Structure formats: C-alpha cells, structure tokens
Amino acid sequence: MQRVASIAAMQRLARQWQRAGKHIGLVPTMGYLHAGHLSLVKRARQAVGKNGVVAVSIYVNPVQFGPKEDFSKYPRDLKRDLKLCRDAGVDVVFVPDDREMYERRGGSLSSPDPRKNLGSTESRPTGFSTYVVEERLSRTMEGAARPTHFRGVTTVVAKLFNLVLPDVAVFGAKDWQQATIIRRMAADLNFPVRILVAPTLRERDGLAMSSRNKYLTGGLRAQATVLWCSIQMARATVKKLKAFPAAGLKTAVKKLVACEPDARLDYVEFFDPDTLLPVSKVKRGAHMALAVFVGKTRLIDNARL
Ligand code: AMP
C-alpha cells in the first residue's frame, strides 16, 4: 500500500494508472475509520475489480466545518487508519495536509487556523478563492443547519476528483443529502465518474456507525439510539397507516427525542429521496432524515421508510 501526501505525486500516480488502463475507485473520508468506511472500500474494490486500484483519501477538510463546530477536536488516528486500509487491501491512501489542499504554491495562509482563511465569505488574501457550490439540494436539512457545510464538501470532493481521477467514487447512504448533492455536482460539472452509494452500517442497537460516536461517553451512548428508534417508529407508523401527515410524525419524533435527558432535536424531515423535496404525506418509499444533539455531539441519520 502506498501513502501519498503531495498533490503532485497523487496526480502523477493517477495519470499513470489511467495510461495503464486501470480502473480507479475512490473512497473519500475524514479518517478515524470504522466498519462503515471499510464497507465503502469493499464496494469500491467490487466496482473496479482485481486489476483496478482503490484509493482512500483521509482528510479532515476544514472548509466544511462551521466556526463553532468540532474541526479541531475531530477524532484522528492516522496510524490505526493506515493499518485498517492496508488490511482492507487499499492500494493508495491519500493524506494531504491543509497547505497542500488550500494554499497555492508559494502563497501563505494569513492565519494558522485554516478556517479563519477558508470557509468564510469574506475575501481574505489567501492562496485559495474558488469554491464549488450546489445551489438547490444544499438548501435544506444539513444545508440549512450548517450553512457553509456543503460548499466545503463539494469543493473538496471536486478537488479529490481532479487529483485521483476516479472512474468510480463511493459514498455512504449515512450522509444521504451529501451523496445526492455529489451525484448532482458530478452530473452538472461533467466529472467522468460514477457515483455509488453504499448502505449505512449500524451498531447492534441500530446506532449508525460514525467517527463522532467516540464522543458519546457515559450515559450518552445509550441515549444516542433515539435516532434509530425515531426511524423505527416512523417506519412502523407508515407501514400500519399507509400514509401519515409529515407534521404529525415530526411532532411524534420531537416527543420521542425529548424523552432523553441529554438529547435535543435539531431537525427531522420527510422527503423524496431523489429531489430531497419535503413531502406533506409520508408514504412507503419516502425518506426520513434527522439531526439530534446528544450532549454536545451532533448526530445524523436517515432511512427509507
Ligand atoms: P466521513 O469520514 O464521516 O466523512 O465519511 C466518509 C464516507 O463514509 C462518507 O461517504 C460517509 O457517508 C460514509 N459513512 C460514514 N458512516 C457510515 C456508515 N455507518 N455506513 C456506511 N457509510 C458510512
């Protein structure tokens, strides 16, 4: 397994693969890998075949974090991640740093904290000033709760597509809105890449695997199952009653979350899985997504009902 940190080396390698006719699969991650990430690696390997190459990027992208979010304390363990990737048969791990990703050669960031230079709407004299913005699907749910988040995601993913030149890129259904936006970005901007979406891997009690679950200490871990319980409750309602008003289901979810002493509902939405447009009557096949603070940790989950 190769470990690549520089953009020049990554692009050189990707071009070599392309010239050799190898199919390239990419799994973008922020590291602190878990079985969910590794299931995407497996899916990428399936897609590119034995002779293809699978690249995993590990990069905590400052631009997708808001000023009050957990960028600096986001869990990191590169040594462990590298071992997991090696064991999973990954060919290349791309681990750039902020300087590589967001600083023009020879330029300098005006502050050591990259979020002070990037991600803000103010124009600052930095080495980076071009963003990719999806303007429709990004407005609701995560986009409404985290206004600059998707701009950071689409920008970094577009950069990764240009650096790794993947034929296939695999994303998790865990971040349904993100995967939908990336699929739209790839289509709108004609990236020659097939976007695959792999199912959400869950713990035994239904909690969706996430690097942020590490924050759930003490009694918070048990309370975090309220996201999965809410999905189950909505699913059971829709199964029994065929169609149910979204407003009523939202109230029921709010009540369920309020039963947990340290949980606070950020949003819950019912929507069409392709357009992400909200539905007023929830039927089978509709999608549900919610964000819940459990203590200080913000968790998200979603599922088809
Ligand atoms: P992250 O490192 O959290 O940015 O996630 C990297 C990729 O892994 C994204 O495409 C996520 O949707 C995906 N992912 C995260 N958690 C899971 C999970 N529990 N099951 C499947 N995929 C996941």
Domain ranges of the chain: 2-198, 211-300
pLDDT for position 205: 97
Could you confirm whether domain 2-198 is CATH 3.40.50.620?
yes
DSSP 25-53: EEEEE-SS--HHHHHHHHHHHHHH-TTSE
pLDDT for position 107: 45
Output the CA 76–ligand 1 centroid distance in Å: 15
- Residues of the chain with pLDDT below 70 are 104-126
Active-site annotation, residues: 37
Amino acid at position 46, single letter: Q
Which residues pair with residue 291 across a beta bridge?
Answer: 267, 300
Superfamily of the domain at 211-300:
Pantoate-beta-alanine ligase, C-terminal domain (3.30.1300.10)
Output the CA 278–ligand 1 centroid distance in Å: 24
What is the model's pTM?
Answer: 0.94
Residues with a CB atom less than 6 Å from ligand 1: 29-30, 36-37, 39-40, 171-172, 174-175, 198, 200-201, 208-211
pLDDT for position 124: 40
| Helix boundaries (H) for 146-302 | 149-164, 176-188, 220-223, 226-241, 246-258
Contact between 167 and 193 (Cβ < 8 Å):
yes
Candidate of 29, 160, 300, 302 to mutate for ligand 1, largest count of ligand atoms within 8 Å of Cβ: 29
pLDDT for position 127: 78
pLDDT in tens, 249-299: 999 999 999 999 999 999 999 999 999 999 999 999 999 999 999 999 999
pLDDT for position 126: 63
Output the CA 97–ligand 1 centroid distance in Å: 20
